[in-house]
Amino acid sequence: MYFCKNYNMENIFGNRPIEEKLQAEQEIRPMEFILFKERQEVPRRTLGAEGMIDTIKNILERLTRQIFQYESIQSHRALSIPLHSKLIIGNGQQSVVLNP
């Protein structure tokens, strides 16, 4: 068996493993930063989503069938204006004729 006094891992492998490790760590840092920032955003986004849900619930509670009918009539009236025609709205039992 032969042993060398100047046995050194750098002489055998060079600095490549150390450089690869440093490069890998540098590539990971931006990803870690992005992950850190996204985790900070979770409470804000959650609060915003809860606010939107509350707003939608309030709107849906206040909408009634009459409001939907009114909006439907208004949209049909708007569509009939360029055609210079009469708008007849009915549900099969009674009809209403509107002049735009």
Which of residues 57 and 79 earns the better pLDDT score? 57
Cβ contact 49:62 at 8 Å: no
Which of residues 21 and 48 earns the better pLDDT score? 48
pLDDT of 100 over the 60 cut: no
Q: Which residues share a beta bridge with 95?
A: 90
Cβ contact 46:54 at 8 Å: no
Backbone dihedral angles phi then psi of residue 7, each to the nearest 5 degrees? -70, 120
- Residue-level pLDDT at 66: 81
**C-alpha separations of 3 from 7, 8, 10 in Å:** 8, 11, 16
pLDDT of 91 over the 80 cut: no
Ramachandran area for residue 84 (φ above 0: left; ψ -120 to 50: alpha; else beta): left
Q: What is the pLDDT of residues 22-69, one digit of tens each?
A: 888 888 999 999 999 999 999 999 999 999 999 988 888 887 878 888
**E strands present in the chain:** 87-90, 95-98
Output the average pLDDT for the chain: 77
